[in-house]
Structure 1
Amino acid sequence: MLSGRVALVTGGSGGIGAALCRALAAEGAIVAVGYRDRSELAGSIVQEIEDAGGRAASFPADLLVPRASELLVDAVESALGPVDVLVSNHGHAHRASFDEVDVGAWDETLAINLRAPFLLAQRVIPGMKDRGFGRILFVSSVAGFTGGIVGPHYAASKAGLHGLTHFLASRVAEAGITVNALAPALIEHTDMLPGDPGYLQRTIPVGRLGQPSEVADMAIAMLRNAYLTSKVIALDGGMHPR
């Protein structure tokens, strides 16, 4: 289902993003590795995919800038072809209590974590409709369910992604487009662990941190499934039963 399709992964140079890129390439997708400023890491992921016989390219974008989402998709489609799979994985997390979050921090977090995913989806959906196929996956966080500990700005941005998922999914399903969100928590080898890994793993029922490859495995299962849409799936080692 994913073979030969162009898949754009934002935040592709990070731990989870790199795992997503590798997993999509293993499915035969043509991978667009979106990144902000870690060009060497993005380039190494592209090289790794190409060395394995796949096709990939990297694309810089500062998604804090409103037009960056549109320009990123324009660049990907010009170089690789129409985007059939959007994995909006990028994110911004700055830990702060509710009384420490000023207007600037609030606006920056919401712009990167919520506005940019919407603008990306808004840009790719018309083409997906024309082709009768599309997969959109927002990478969220269990903080969107629980509030988490990073801060109110982060929790609000992730909860907003859940609402956006449900709004879009019901309006594009008949066109062959699925829209879902994946909400991981406490994943190793990422920049967003909110504390000491040794302590954090003791709070997880399975007794360890999650792996980026496990997030990617779940993402691929969701992207493959044409009957799964408008769902937010938590991946948290059993921390928050639902």
Structure 2
Amino acid sequence: MGKTFCTEVFMPTLYEQIRGEQIGYSIVREWLMINCGIFIRWNTVQALKIMKILLVIIEGKVLHEEHVELLMEEFTFLKKEVMGKDLLKGSLLFTAGPLAEERFGFPAFSGISRLTWLVSLFGELSLVSATLEERKEDQYMKMTVCLETENKRPLTWIEERGPGLKRNRHLSFHFKSGSLENIPNVGINKNIFLKDQNIFVQKLLGKYSEKELAAEKKRILHCLWLAEEIQKCCR
């Protein structure tokens, strides 16, 4: 039986090396000679190019990107509510305190968990427009993104951060059969990080089919592509 170790990547140094095109191919390959996969912490990969490079380097190994937002009770509730319904329009607003872009990346990347929610709920999306309002002296920013589903249904995603803003999600989804305004109290998110790590272990053990892994890879790359397009549109 092969090696059963894995490498956990949370170091900004890996991101900086790749972003600066000083990618340590030999370093990553050396890791993979003694490991069977890489576990990427949320927000380590902040560009489509970086993910594509990693996918080439680790070909034949397991690459797992942390997505605890898909294990939250709120998302489980939404998934059930949305399933089989015909969307007319929707919006998702996220508010929170200030976040340093130089550390956490452009808002489309630091907020990619919200984008992942929308893509997971409504399928691949196309970008219509995106704007970024910034008042750096006040530590305030508001990113407004207009998206469309494959059926041309409009979705608006807003990230708003500033002093005094509480961490919260406000959503509004309108369907032909009715509307969903915000998420009720659906319980406490228990052990979601442990659950995410268990998914990685299951992948290492070969418990996920090639079809499941391909679908996940497609979703991750699509979300990163959308985040990049949003950044280009705003800058």
TM-score (norm 2): 0.36
Larger CA Rg, structure 1 vs 2: 2
The structure where strand makes up a greater share of residues is: 2
